[in-house]
């Protein structure tokens, strides 16, 4: 879990996740309140440091992730380093908490300490087999927004963090984020407007339903047009010649695997965001 104070470094932390050999199976941005902090950190309620912990964790958004690899719990604990960031800087300077942490509370990330706690925490964040477990809610604002979809090939290649860095560095706010595995009918419904318009429509449908993608609600003044500028021309070859610093120029391969989808028309920004962060939520949960 990426903690609120590490928001601006979320892309770099996702890069660390990929570099350490983890697959991200689930990802969602959400926000704690007093009650959910007590539920997630139940073992710490009543301790002297809990008020400070509660205030820090409910101060802004977090990104919860379920990470997969052999011996994942222990490997993740190694990657993040000691709980106290000062100790991490001294003993494991290459760890995430050494690089992005401030102190024992603002230590950049959380990691489950055992398989049992992983199961409980994953159900708390995403829902699961336990009918009583309600997933943490989306942080989507659904106004003055645009949709950005990080396509499956970027997620698979572990490049999503670098794309997110470009978005944040350009001054955009990422106000909601979640990983989705879309079925072909859902992809066809969302991209129906391009049917008969894009010659690569069928390969696009195949690609967008081939694996997990990450959806982002992005906000800024004049956001739809500004985000389209950052993404660059639809064809990566044209982007590389005309707009070399854009996302598609840097990460795109062809007109299907062009790294990202972004909202085309200003009037569609909220509608596309609502499709992912409202309509699909009802189907998932």
Q: Annotated active-site positions, please?
A: 261
Spatial separation of the C-alpha atoms in residues 99 and 68, rounded to whole Å: 23
Spatial separation of the C-alpha atoms in residues 255 and 201, rounded to whole Å: 10
Spatial separation of the C-alpha atoms in residues 1 and 227, rounded to whole Å: 27
List all residues 6 or more positions away from 94 whose beta carbon is below 8 Å from its beta carbon: none
| Strand ranges across the sheet with 23-31 | 61-68, 23-31, 173-180, 213-219, 145-150, 260-262
Spatial separation of the C-alpha atoms in residues 226 and 11, rounded to whole Å: 20
């Amino acid at each position: 879990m990426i903690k609120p104070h590490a928001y601006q470094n979320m892309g770099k932390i996702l890069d660390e996740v990929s570099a350490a050999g983890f697959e991200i199976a689930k990802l969602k941005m959400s926000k704690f309140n007093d009650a959910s902090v007590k539920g997630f950190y139940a073992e710490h309620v009543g301790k002297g440091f809990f008020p400070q912990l509660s205030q820090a964790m409910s101060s802004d958004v977090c990104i919860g992730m379920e990470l997969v690899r052999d011996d994942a719990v222990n490997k993740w604990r190694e990657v993040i380093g000691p709980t106290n960031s000062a100790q991490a800087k001294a003993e494991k300077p290459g760890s995430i908490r050494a690089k992005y942490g401030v102190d024992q509370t603002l230590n950049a990330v959380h990691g489950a300490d055992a398989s049992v706690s992983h199961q409980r925490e994953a159900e708390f964040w995403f829902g699961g087999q336990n009918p009583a477990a309600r997933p943490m809610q989306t942080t989507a604002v659904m106004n003055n927004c645009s949709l950005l979809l990080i396509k499956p090939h970027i997620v698979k290649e572990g490049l999503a963090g670098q794309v997110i860095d470009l978005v944040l560095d350009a001054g955009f706010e990422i106000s909601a984020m979640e990983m989705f595995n879309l079925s072909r009918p859902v992809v066809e419904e969302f991209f129906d407007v391009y049917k008969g318009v894009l010659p690569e429509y069928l390969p696009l449908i195949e690609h967008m339903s081939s694996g997990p993608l990450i959806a982002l609600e992005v906000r800024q003044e004049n956001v739809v047009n500004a985000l389209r500028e950052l993404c660059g021309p639809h064809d990566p070859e044209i982007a590389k010649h005309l707009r070399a610093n854009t996302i598609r120029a840097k990460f795109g391969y062809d007109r299907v695997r062009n790294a990202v989808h972004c909202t085309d028309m200003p009037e569609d920004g909220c509608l596309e965001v609502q499709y992912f962060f409202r309509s699909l939520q009802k189907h998932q949960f």
